[in-house]
Amino acid sequence: SGPRGRIVKADVEGLSKSDTPAKATEATATSEAPKAAVPAVAAGPSTDTVLKMYEGRDYEEIKLDGMRKTIAGRLTEAKQTIPHFYLRRDIQLDALMAFRAQLNKQLEPRGVKLSVNDFIIKACALALQQVPEANAVWAGDRMLKLTPSDVAVAVAIEGGLFTPVLKDAEMKSLSALSAEMKDLATRARDRKLAPHEYQGGSFAISNLGMFGIDNFDAVINPPHGAILAVGAGVKKPVVNAEGEISVATVMSVTLSVDHRVIDGALGAQLLSAIKDNLEAPMTMLA
Rounded Cα distance, 170 and 189, in Å: 25
- Reduced to 3 states (helix: H, G, I; strand: E, B; else coil), residue 235 is strand
* Bridge partners for 28 per DSSP: none
Burial of 123 (0-12, 13-18, 19+ CB in 10 A): buried
DSSP state of 202: S
- Alpha-carbon Rg for the chain in angstroms: 30
> Which residue among 84, 196, 224, 259 is the active-site one?
259
Positive or negative: CA dihedral 246, 247, 249, 254: positive
**CB hemisphere CA count around 203 (13 angstroms):** 36
Neighbours of 132 (CB within 10 A): 14
Tell me how far apart the alpha carbons of residues 163 and 196 are, in angstroms, rounded to a whole number: 11
CA 277 to chain centre: 21
**262/273 Cα distance (integer angstroms):** 15
In DSSP notation, 110-167 reads GT----HHHHHHHHHHHHHHHSGGGSEEE-SSSEEE-SS--EEE-EEETTEEE--EET
Name the strand (E) or helix (H) holding 189: helix 174-189
Can 259 be counted among the known catalytic residues?
yes
- Residue positions annotated with a catalytic role: 259
